[in-house]
Amino acid sequence: MRKIDKRIVVIAAFIFIVGLAYGLMRFLAAQKEDLQRRPLMEAKRFVKAEAVKYATIISPVSADGRLTSIAEVDIVAEASGRLQQGDVSLKKGAKFSQGDILFVVYPDEAALALKASKSQFLNTLANLLPDIRIDFPEHEQGYMEFFSSISLDHPLPAFPEVENEKIKIFLTSRNVLSQYYNIRKDELQLSRRTSIAPFDGTFTEVNLEVGSYTNTGGRIAKAIRTDELELEVPVVRFDAAWIKIGDPVTVRSDIRGLTWKGKVIRKSQFVDQNTQSQAIFIKIQNHRNPALLAGEYLMAEFPGHPVENAMEVPRNVVFNTNEVFVIVDNRLEKRVANIIKENKKTLIFNGLEEGEVLVMQPLINVLEGTLVERLGEQQDKPAIGQGPGMRPEGERERPADKPEGASGQKKDKAARKKPGEEGEKAREKKKRTDQGQPE
């Protein structure tokens, strides 16, 4: 029984001690004065801004493109045989002029066969002339002149006109007309063994060289025209609508520092599915020294066109493709702008209300609702983060900055003296006087 009472006493004592400690802790905590927190000051950013104002903007159109030839042809053999040298070298990059012989397909065998056909034709005519003299005396003179004008080294002359039905039957029965036109076909075939340049140009590819054997239709080389070139420029659909065929164009080379005059000759009637641009073709006369070369990249400048009710700003003002910041009650708000045209460094837009204050600089790591102030409109007031007794940088003033504070410090020191200290000194002074001691 005593053992159980002892446990109860221990538990009761423990509970009493814990309760006493908790009550004492609450009492001491209540005696502690609350610390005054320094009010939080919201950071403010200074930004460049401008009121939205729409006007008519003359928007220049410029784009770069690659220079190409107006004529690019494949040169093929129209007869079979071995290739022979012409007036120019059959090599890639070789230059030629209009009328030059590019190459010749071995013609000797075909020339001899043609002469043999002409000889056979002359023999046929010689056998017919006596019959024509007897049966068609009125046509004898014409056929005699035709027979005399035939030469083995020159093309056949024109065949006399056949208007009489009887003589037509007579000539057809002797195969005269078929022989004549077979010879004309062979003459044409022989002429095609010689390839003549149709324009001033150069070889860009050569598939067969001199001495190679080619079949009819074999691809010999690829050539381009060099005296007239055209510039293909991709232009966005919005700007291409303002460009007309015949418009003058200034073409320049930034690398060479030269300019040329050109003219729009055609526009594609489709849009490239990858770039969503329309091709504009500009013709350039290549008569300047140094001459232009196909494959160069040049810049084309078209006449500007007006864009009404729009504003032009730097490209870095816009973020997320079409969003901008405006200032409303000194805080940032997002707006969606309607982008009309993008240039290299600027863009043209509308879609905002006139008079709204548009932020004219890129902002990094800034959220909507941030406190801002427009540059150039600051009032005479403490800078951001300042308060009473604060320096512009936010530092509290030192005692040296306030001379009148010295007396205040002495008063504070005097006030911190122990209570009754002055009375104790007075009693000691009186006791020394009564005993006859000096002060």
* Residue 269, SS3 per DSSP: coil
CA atoms of 68 and 284, how far apart (whole Å): 10
Confidence class for position 424, pLDDT limits 50, 70, 90: low
CA dihedral 234, 235, 236, 239 (to 10 degrees): -170
Please compute the mean of the pLDDT values over residues 110-119 and round it to a whole number: 88
CA atoms of 110 and 186, how far apart (whole Å): 8
Tell me the pLDDT tens digit for each residue of 319-372.
988 999 999 999 999 999 999 888 878 899 999 999 999 999 998 888 888 998
Q: What's the pLDDT score for residue 4?
A: 62
- The DSSP element (H or E) to which 46 belongs, if any, is strand 45-47
Please compute the mean of the pLDDT values over residues 116-130 and round it to a whole number: 89
CA atoms of 120 and 152, how far apart (whole Å): 11
Tell me the pLDDT tens digit for each residue of 233-261.
999 888 888 888 998 999 988 888 888 88
Encoded tokens for 383: 């800078």
CB under 8 Å to 69, separation ≥6 — which residues?
A: 201, 224, 225, 226, 228, 229, 230, 294
Above 80 in pLDDT, residue 113?
yes
Q: Which long-range contacts (CB under 8 A, 24 or more apart) does 390-398 make?
A: none
Q: What's the pLDDT score for residue 34?
A: 61
Q: What's the pLDDT score for residue 377?
A: 64
Q: What's the pLDDT score for residue 425?
A: 55
Tell me the pLDDT tens digit for each residue of 7-43.
788 888 888 888 888 888 887 777 766 666 666 677 7
Above 90 in pLDDT, residue 128?
no
pTM for this predicted structure: 0.55
Tell me the pLDDT tens digit for each residue of 70-90.
888 999 988 888 899 999 999
Q: Can you say whether residue 320 is alpha, beta or left, with left for phi > 0 and alpha for psi between -120 and 50 degrees?
A: left
CA atoms of 251 and 292, how far apart (whole Å): 11
Q: What's the pLDDT score for residue 206?
A: 92
Q: Give the domains, in start order, of the chain with CATH numbers.
A: 49-54+318-374 (no CATH), 61-68+226-306 (2.40.30.170), 73-105+193-225 (2.40.50.100), 109-191 (no CATH)
Tell me the pLDDT tens digit for each residue of 166-224.
888 888 888 888 899 999 888 888 888 889 999 999 999 999 989 889 888 889 999 99
Q: What's the pLDDT score for residue 62?
A: 86
DSSP bridge partners of 336: 323
Please compute the mean of the pLDDT values over residues 109-133 and round it to a whole number: 87
Contact 52, 66 (CB under 8 A): no
CA atoms of 437 and 429, how far apart (whole Å): 9
Confidence class for position 110, pLDDT limits 50, 70, 90: confident
Encoded tokens for 111: 């020339």
Q: Average pLDDT, whole number, for the chain?
A: 81
Half-sphere exposure of 392 (CA within 13 A, CB side): 3
CA atoms of 101 and 128, how far apart (whole Å): 41
Q: What's the pLDDT score for residue 324?
A: 93
Exposed, middle or buried by CB within 10 Å (0-12, 13-18, 19+), for 210? Answer: middle
Tell me the pLDDT tens digit for each residue of 133-165.
888 888 888 888 888 888 888 888 988 888 788
